[in-house]
Homo-oligomer: A and B are copies of this chain.
Amino acid sequence: MHIVITGGAGFLGARLARTLLEQGQLALAGAAPQSIQSITLVDRAAPPADLAADSRIHSLVGDLNHLLEAKTATDQPIWAQAALIFHLAAAVSGECEANFDLGMRSNIDATRALLEVCRLQGSCPTVVFASSLAVFGNSAAQPLPAVIDDRTLPTPQNSYGIQKFICEQLVADYGRKGFICARNVRLMTVSVRPGKPNGAASSFLSGMIREPLAGVRAACPVPKDTAVALSSPASTIAGLIRSATATDAEWGARTAINLPALTTTVGAMASALEKLGGKAATDLIDWTPEPAIASIVTSWPAVIDAARARALGLLPDPDFESIVADYIRDEMSENPHIKPAS
């Protein structure tokens, strides 16, 4: 089986590739398990060294919109060979809000071009589209219900959410037409992400843990009682892979499923950090309100009833402390700054 991951050199894409390589095989949409022969990481950036060193990893480096132009795509057999495409590449929420055209191009145009390439190939690959919690937006004119479920009407309040929701519709219709096998899956905010801050409005939800654990100051731009819906990297990857293995009957409607989320608050996150990293860590958090960020983040829902995901066996992380512990184990084994509380 050949797999493509767009955004494959990013944190989630690379972790997804590692997990797939580790398990070595995949039972796509309920079919018999097949060994994973290759994974092509499509990204602006080259793959991380560990992945680049694996003979099963290929990479296609460049601008996704350009790579997907019909003429260019025809030169790349990866599109014709792929039985499974994880479409993770996207401009993130903060970027899209600052640069409207960037979001329209990188999110809508690129997704549509990807779907067109699938259609032109005629091989009906499974496409797992990484949508987002950001399709839900709270507003005074149309308050969100207290609990979001799989039938809640998305009313996005930022361009990123609009673009993701539009792509869900495209993916659903390309699926209905038989051009692809459609798997629309809404990712929750992933925390704790390793690496550097990015342009996502939610970036601080990793930074406020990651930076203090590394002895670096970090800003938290929202009040402590701000409720958020989070998913660990491991749970998020599990959700993406389960979306690919679900049969049509297990999956149900082509509309998006919400992945499960742990509901917590920014204050409780800081408490979990303090338990594992000590007061020295939480002292490094600057509680500096930033209205532009806060207005995006507080428009997202915090409580998710992820019934369809639950039926697929996907559950939220049990608590934020275990998420932080996982981060320390997975990403910080050689970091001298961690000083677990005794």
Contact = CB atoms under 8 A, between A and B. Distances in A.
Contacts of A329: none
B177 A141 contact: no
Contacts of A100: 177
Nearest first, the 7 closest Cβ-Cβ pairs linking A and B are A142-B253, A162-B173, A141-B253, A141-B252, A153-B153, A166-B166, A162-B169
A240 to B, nearest CB: 21
Contact of A162 (B139, B152, B157, B172): B172
B255 A142 contact: yes
Interface of A: 100, 139, 141-142, 151-157, 159, 162, 165-166, 169-170, 172-173, 176-177, 252-255
Given A141-B253, A166-B166, 5 more contacts: A142-B253, A155-B254, A155-B255, A156-B172, A162-B172
Contacts of A172: 156, 162
A162 B153 contact: no
B151 A176 contact: no
A161 to B, nearest CB: 9
A255 B162 CA distance: 11
B173 A253 contact: no
A302 to B, nearest CB: 19
Contacts of A156: 169, 172-173
A170 B177 contact: no
A172 B154 CA distance: 12
A311 to B, nearest CB: 13
A177 B151 CA distance: 27
A199 B325 CA distance: 60
26 contacts: A100-B177, A141-B252, A141-B253, A141-B254, A142-B252, A142-B255, A151-B153, A152-B153, A153-B153, A153-B154, A153-B255, A155-B253, A155-B254, A156-B169, A156-B172, A159-B173, A159-B177, A162-B169, A162-B170, A162-B172, A162-B173, A165-B169, A166-B166, A166-B169, A166-B170, A169-B169
B139 A253 contact: yes
Contacts of A142: 252-253, 255
A138 to B, nearest CB: 11
A252 B140 CA distance: 9
A176 B139 CA distance: 11
Nearest to A248: B141
A142 B165 CA distance: 18
A166 B254 CA distance: 15
A39 to B, nearest CB: 30
Nearest to A160: B173
Residue in A157, A166, A169, A254 with the greatest tally of chain B CB atoms within 10 Å: A169
Contacts of A162: 169-170, 172-173
A166 B171 CA distance: 12
A234 B166 CA distance: 32
A38 B153 CA distance: 38
A160 to B, nearest CB: 10
Nearest to A249: B141
A255 B144 CA distance: 13
A176 B162 CA distance: 11
